[in-house]
Amino acid sequence: MRNARTIILNLIRRYLTRHGYTLAHTNISGVEPLKLWMSDTGFLMIWDEICKKTMIDVSRAYMIYQLLLNVRHLKGAAAEIGVWRGGTAQLISSVLYHKMIYLFDTFEGLPAVSPDFDKNFHCEGEFGDTCYEDVKNLFAQQDYVKVIKGVFPGSIEKNNTYPREFCFVHVDVDLYQSAKDSCEHFYPLLVPGGVMIFDDYGFGTCPGVRQAVDEFFKGKHGHFYLPTGQYVVIKNGD
């Protein structure tokens, strides 16, 4: 029963966010800020390609896009934890095509949920409506993209080609433990100026992500909340 409720709520959320309904940023004079993504043709070409393979809406995608443009010159690889059908991963690979990109997902849905933070909103196996082979095929022509199946962080390839430095990490995992593990693994490997961006942080359905991020970044500098619901961390060498 709870699983059915969770699935229905997430379908509604996915529909609403894809169509931008969560974002009404009208200021006091009643004037809405510009939707710059509507006129950015470079971005729109990518969005057109990915929008049916992602759960995020166009404004969140544009935040990611702009951050990607800002880390292009940095050293280090890129990663995404929480790939699902590969939409946001394609966004990353469209901009950082000169870097190694590591994509982590079970491709069988969410792993075990935390009884303390996640269980009222998510269930194990949710988002299992994807296919590892399909996502692998999506990146078949891009040998700089590695698609890694399994529960992160146990799925990390422990060999000497695995990067020691990252410049960009997109964390879209919905769950407390997955977000915590992502922070613990990637933040120490982030180069100065490197970016981690968390989807889900501002959404009532993902309290575990907010909990994990707040715990980890307490006392550190260079992190802030976006009105899109995302949370951004920029490493400044502390």
Ligand X SMILES: C[S@@+](CC[C@H](N)C(=O)[O-])C[C@H]1O[C@@H](n2cnc3c(N)ncnc32)[C@H](O)[C@@H]1O
* Chain residues that interact with ligand X, rule: CB under 6 A: 54-56, 82-84, 87-88, 104-106, 109-111, 127, 151-152, 172-175, 178
Q: How far is the CB of 150 from ligand X (least distance, A)?
A: 7
What is the C-alpha separation between 219 and 63, in angstroms, rounded? 25
CB count within 10 Å of CB 51 equals 15
CB count within 10 Å of CB 101 equals 20
Q: How far is the CB of 164 from ligand X (least distance, A)?
A: 21
Q: How far is the CB of 109 from ligand X (least distance, A)?
A: 5
C-beta closer to ligand X: residue 55 or 58: 55
Closest residue by beta carbon to ligand X? 82
Side-by-side strand order, sheet with 223-225:
145-149, 101-105, 77-81, 166-171, 190-198, 231-234, 223-225
C-beta closer to ligand X: residue 193 or 205: 205
C-beta closer to ligand X: residue 109 or 222: 109
Peptide bond connecting 207 to the previous residue in cis, omega within 30 degrees of 0: no
Look at residues 198, 151, 148 and name the one whose alpha carbon lies nearest to residue 170: 198
Look at residues 76, 140, 152 and name the one whose alpha carbon lies nearest to residue 108: 152
C-beta closer to ligand X: residue 74 or 110: 110
* CA geometry: angle 47, 78, 160, nearest 5 deg: 150
C-beta closer to ligand X: residue 75 or 156: 156
Q: How far is the CB of 143 from ligand X (least distance, A)?
A: 21
Q: How far is the CB of 94 from ligand X (least distance, A)?
A: 13
What is the C-alpha separation between 56 and 23, in angstroms, rounded? 12
Asked if 78 contacts 99 with a C-beta cutoff of 8 angstroms, the reply is: yes
Q: How far is the CB of 194 from ligand X (least distance, A)?
A: 19
CA distances 180 to 110, 162, 199, 211, Å, are 15, 20, 13, 9
C-beta closer to ligand X: residue 55 or 212: 55
